[in-house]
Amino acid sequence: MDKNSAIGLTLILLIFLGFNWYNMPSEEERAEAKRVHDSIATVEEHNARLNETAIEEAVSADSTTVVESATPETLAKDSVALAEYKGKFGEFGDASMGEDGTVVIENDLLAITVNKKGGHPLSVQLKKYQTYDSLPLLLFDGQENRFSLDFFAKNNRVSTQELYFEPSTQGFTVSGEEKKSLSMRLKAGPEQYIEYVYTLTGGSYLVDFDINFVGMQNVIERNATTLDLHWKNDLPHQEKSLQNERDNSTIYYRFSDDEVDYISERSDEKEEIKTDLQWVAFKQQFFSSVLINKDGWQGQSDLETMRDEASTSVVKTFDAKLTVPYGHREIENVALQFYYGPNQYNSLKDLELGLEHMVPLGWGIFGWVNQFAVIPIFNLLKDTGLGYGIIILILTLVIKLVLMPFTYKAYMSTAKMRVLKPEIDEINKKFEGKDDPMAKQQATMALYSKAGVNPLGGCLPMLFQMPILIALFRFFPASIELRQQSFLWADDLSSYDSIYDLPFEIPFYGDHISLFTLLMTISTIIYTRSNMNMQAGNPQMEQMKWMMYLMPVMMLGWFNNYASGLSYYYFLANMVTFGQNFIFTKLVDDDAIHAKLQENKKNPKKPSGFQKRLEEMAKQRGYQPPKSDKKK
């Protein structure tokens, strides 16, 4: 080889080595390549397992069909079918067969029926309450309900709902401060089991519920860090108005930062919540089932509400899919609690879990009025032992007494407008036939300003009363204290008071006549007419006249299916207002008011900002306001 050839080969070798060095992958690239390679290997292994499983299923298709359709009697006679059936459940094969039955644990308030199959509450009865038709009140009842842990155990999908638990006792009853526990064990082996422990205290709606995992570290699939908890209930019809019940039933939940939220009551919805939760509540109109995690529900939670409008027995179906942490230790515990009970504001607040937010008292200022004013007064009156119809009457009188200064101010404003009506009529006559509404308005406002009258004076005091009116609109339908409490012809102040059931349904009204609603509407129309007559000449009120009469008619439809306690309150409020106005009429002298207004004209006050803006607008249109009558 000559010198030139040797140099050429050397250069080619250096170039080749340099190219390989330059294109050598970095540490990060090599790691990524390894991850891709491992992922491909995992997928191939998974596919191989699926193919193997498919072959096994194809080979045993006939026997599988036999197993699935087998009954305990046929399985007992066929050892092969029995072995195949148990094989579907892996280590829990023996627990797949058992004796059906229930265990009842109860205290003074609750009777909980626990199903041996699934180890979960099959039904919960609230002893102190009944349904609208005097039947025992059950929060839920039946096999359609679900409370199950779902997980993989050595390639077998296990659902505790399908397996039999062994109870530690055949049931018990506790009262007072007494406390007892029921253990339900799902065995995978002699020292391997999942345990549900229900602890009940006398006189409490709270039930301690512990899930214990003992020796399950080699049974539950090794890569599992959480187990799925599936909770689903059909809520039975309990109240007089099924529609009201549906409109007030939904899923509430509390975030770990203490904020409480809920799914809309008006439509079927599904929410995927990725933030940790403290509790989830299946809330009906007056009662709730709540699942509380003392350490918080971690990971994603799927919540769903469903309704079947054609059903007359099921209000809604609620579905919650939560996760339970699992660390593959020899002994593990998950501490939970159930709350099965009424949506009573003070009782829920005493639990210090934020459950009182399930009682819909209104947002913002309306909720504050209920919390800090209406509820304390109502509870004070309730402790007297009076009937709830009398309690609502006294509550009405107390509220109207507190609002009397505003009512009096509104009456005085309308009295001043009534006294000024002749002068308003003169202004209207002066501008009759003239197409200059701005000038007419400006002249009217000038009269008001000189006389010291605020044309909105009758409206503003009413605005101050609106928070109380709206707060009570939320309070009465949400008050479980009124549930099934009768007064006069109303058999339930928390529902409508039908005095006649129509043979047909009227759109926007309903299929019955609620007398308290009818009385409220009639009294409201009379009050509106009286008020309009008192404010005759007020242009603002004249423009709102049609709306003032329309509102009572619309309320007739809104309230016909609503809580009769609320209609009763509004009717009483109107009647008390009539009485107040009658007293004010005797005490107020129109001649004295007229003299005072004339005196005000001699010493007019500084024009308001509203009047100044009217004057500016009038000037821009070429109208010059009249000069002041005040003597220089």
Same domain, 235 and 111: yes
Same domain, 320 and 303: yes
Bridge partners of 331, per DSSP, are 214
Q: Which residue has the tokens 């065995």?
A: 187
Asked if the model's pLDDT at residue 395 lies above 90, the reply is: yes
* 517 within a domain of the structure (yes/no): no
Same domain, 156 and 37: no
* 67 within a domain of the structure (yes/no): yes
pLDDT of residue 453: 73
Name the residue among 190, 201, 186, 188 with its Cα closest to residue 148. Answer: 186
pLDDT average, residue stretch 113-123? 95
Same domain, 248 and 272: yes
Same domain, 76 and 190: no
* 552 within a domain of the structure (yes/no): no
* 572 within a domain of the structure (yes/no): no
For 230, 300, 314, the CA distances from 319, given in Å and listed in that order, are 8, 14, 14
* 233 within a domain of the structure (yes/no): yes
Which band of pLDDT confidence, cut at 50, 70 and 90, is reported for residue 74? low
Asked which of 80-89, 313-322, 592-601 is least confident by mean pLDDT, the reply is: 80-89
* 13 within a domain of the structure (yes/no): no
Which carries the bigger pLDDT value, residue 30 or residue 503?
503
Same domain, 68 and 144: no
Instruction: Kindly report, residue by residue over 308-365, the tens digit of the pLDDT.
Output: 989 999 999 999 999 999 999 999 999 999 999 999 999 999 999 999 999 999 888 8
Same domain, 177 and 207: yes
Which carries the bigger pLDDT value, residue 302 or residue 557?
302
Domain boundary among 359, 394, 411: 359
Write b or e for each residue in 66-103: b if 16 or more Cβ atoms lie within 10 A of its Cβ, otherwise e: bbeebeeeebeebeebbebbbebbbbbbebbeeeeebb
pLDDT of residue 295: 85
pLDDT of residue 61: 41
Instruction: Kindly report, residue by residue over 453-474, the tens digit of the pLDDT.
Output: 766 666 666 677 788 888 998 9
Domain boundary among 306, 331, 359: 359
Computed over every residue of the chain, the mean pLDDT equals: 81
Backbone angles phi, psi at 351, to 5 degrees: -75, -15
Q: With pLDDT > 70 as the criterion, what percentage of the chain qualifies?
A: 76
Q: Which residue has the tokens 């008071």?
A: 497
Which band of pLDDT confidence, cut at 50, 70 and 90, is reported for residue 412? confident
Instruction: Kindly report, residue by residue over 218-265, the tens digit of the pLDDT.
Output: 899 888 889 999 999 999 999 999 999 999 999 999 998 789 999 998
Which carries the bigger pLDDT value, residue 415 or residue 291?
291
Q: Name the pTM for this structure.
A: 0.76
Q: Which segment, 11-20, 335-344, 403-412, 494-503, is predicted with the most confidence on average?
A: 335-344
Same domain, 321 and 275: yes
Domain boundary among 41, 74, 92: 92
* 194 within a domain of the structure (yes/no): yes
* 249 within a domain of the structure (yes/no): yes
Which carries the bigger pLDDT value, residue 434 or residue 201?
201
pLDDT of residue 389: 95
Domain with 33 in it = 27-53
Same domain, 65 and 197: no
Residues 6+ positions from 252 with CB-CB distance below 8 Å:
260, 261, 262, 280, 281, 283, 288, 357, 358
Longest dimension (CA), the chain: 136
Which band of pLDDT confidence, cut at 50, 70 and 90, is reported for residue 53? very low
Q: Which residue has the tokens 């055949």?
A: 170
- Amino acid at the residue 38: D
pLDDT average, residue stretch 433-444? 70
Q: Which token pair is 305?
A: 């509400």
Give the C-alpha separation, 526 to 80, whole Å: 84
Domain count, the chain: 3
Q: CA angle, corner 355, sides to 140 and 134, nearest 5?
A: 35
Q: Which CATH number characterizes residue 283's domain?
A: 2.70.98.90
Residues 6+ positions from 44 with CB-CB distance below 8 Å:
none
Same domain, 319 and 280: yes
Which band of pLDDT confidence, cut at 50, 70 and 90, is reported for residue 542? low
pLDDT average, residue stretch 149-153? 90
pLDDT average, residue stretch 437-442? 71
pLDDT average, residue stretch 398-423? 82
Same domain, 68 and 176: no
Q: Are strands 102-106 and 171-173 parallel, antiparallel or unpaired?
A: parallel
Same domain, 82 and 171: no
